[in-house]
Amino acid sequence: MPPVLADSHCHLDFPDFADDLPQVIERAQAAGVTRMVSICTRLDQEPRVRAIAEAHAPVFYAVGVHPMNVGRSPEATVEALVALARHPKMVGIGETGIDLHYSADTRDAQIESLRVHAEAARRTGLPLIIHARDADEDVARVLREERAAGAFGCVMHCFSSGRALAEEALSLGFHLSMSGIAAFKRSDALRAIFRDAPLDRILVETDAPYLAPPPHRGKRNEPAHVALTAQVGAELFGLSLEAFAAATTANFERLFAKAAAWAPQEATA
């Protein structure tokens, strides 16, 4: 049997999976991926993401407004996120964050949206899921300020930023999530950041359908491929795949405690 893994971040509602989602989930389970968190990036898309989680036992979901959708879709409110978090398979707040690569024009609104999501994470006890691109200083500052206002868990999703943001996030007690980018040939600096981080703060993810690791780079990514990223992580930490998988799965279960505690009989119709 393959080692047990969790894909902490994927997008199973995207059109890329419309034709074969049941088979995608089956392949993930065959590869040892027993839990997947499918991320909703717009509040008006929450029903379809929720429906996937309700239909498939290994799938959980998180809800937020992606920073690239801020100002272009319904805005998140603390009250709306708290209400959505009552669902037994809704296990995270986000993804949220700041993206100045594609959406610099909405920077101020993105910062305000991030603060809304952070407050929802505090109120619900669910982890905050952060997207950061070309915005390391802003993200570090806002997370530092929000963490000072009250505790919450947090994962830096698909971490590919600089060392300073990694160190800031780790100092705040947050997690770094390793995606297929860590397996790319030119990612030596990123691999060094992960190698120097505490093992108990590392998660793995696919961000499927994006960022497939070799040998699938350039093709559709899917949750089964998180095992390939985990192999890279194991090599970085000098561990067997089994040991690295066990460590990152334990980290996932601590951070996404609601997913770890879920039992099938709790599923809604």
Q: Are strands 202-204 and 128-133 parallel, antiparallel or unpaired?
A: unpaired
With 0-12 / 13-18 / 19 or more C-beta atoms within 10 angstroms meaning exposed / middle / buried, residue 108 is exposed
Is 9 part of any known ligand binding site?
Answer: yes
Is 216 part of any known ligand binding site?
Answer: no
Is 225 part of any known ligand binding site?
Answer: no
Is 157 part of any known ligand binding site?
Answer: yes
DSSP 37-92: EEEE-SGGGHHHHHHHHHH-TTEEEEE---GGGTTTSPPP-HHHHHHHTTSTTEEE
Is 131 part of any known ligand binding site?
Answer: yes
Please give the Cα distance from 204 to 234 (Å, whole number).
11
Is 11 part of any known ligand binding site?
Answer: yes
SS3 (DSSP) at 175: strand
Please give the Cα distance from 250 to 257 (Å, whole number).
10
Residues in the chain: 269
Binding site listing:
9, 11, 95, 131, 157, 207
Binding site listing for a divalent metal cation:
9, 11, 95, 131, 157, 207
